[in-house]
Amino acid sequence: MQAVFRNAMSRLGSPVVLVTTDGPAGRHGLTVSAITSVTDTPPTVLVCLNRSNQSHRAFLENGRLGISILGKGHDTLACAFANSTLSSTDRFGHGTWQTGPLGSPLLDGALATLDCTIDDTHSIGTHDVLICRVHTITVKDGAGHGLTWFDRSFHYLPPKCTPC
């Protein structure tokens, strides 16, 4: 059942983002495709983190996170932050970073960034679902192609399509 479920979910296109944190528990980051908006009043997103990830505890202890929405040309960066053998220092050696108002690293050149606090956590199976309140948003003008994960590989979404 697990293999069939994973195969089915690979057919569901997902955004590719970097989720980062910094604070008393240190600077950490990872690539995430399990993220979605929850509501715009107040601006809130849901992020899923595997509890076995080496950075998991740091996110909860720091209580805040930055989200950098990736686009075309960020494939290598996404792979670096998904590589569990790279140290945090090595991961952040890729890309250019700014510190958001809440203290989390945010990627220069991201299509958009969100600076968030973790308002609530729910444990389900192997993951924690983080409910995150968005405090600061930046959106890059002329965004470019969005980076997505579909059928176990990267794909690009066009910047604009004809609306329905």
Would you list the domain boundaries of the chain?
A: 2-147
Indicate if the pLDDT at residue 109 is higher than 70.
Answer: yes
Angle, alpha carbons 21-22-25 (nearest 5°): 105
The pTM score is 0.93
Query: How many alpha carbons fall within 13 Å on the CB side of residue 21?
Result: 23
Superfamily of domain 2-147 in the CATH hierarchy: Electron Transport, Fmn-binding Protein; Chain A (2.30.110.10)
Long-range contacts, 116-119 (Cβ 8 Å, 24+): 116/45, 116/64, 116/65, 116/66, 116/67, 117/63, 117/64, 118/59, 118/60, 118/63, 118/64, 118/65, 119/44
pLDDT tens string 10-68: 888 899 999 999 999 999 999 999 999 999 999 999 999 999 999 999 999 999 999 99
Q: Which two tokens stand for residue 132?
A: 């995150």
**pLDDT score recorded for residue 143:** 66
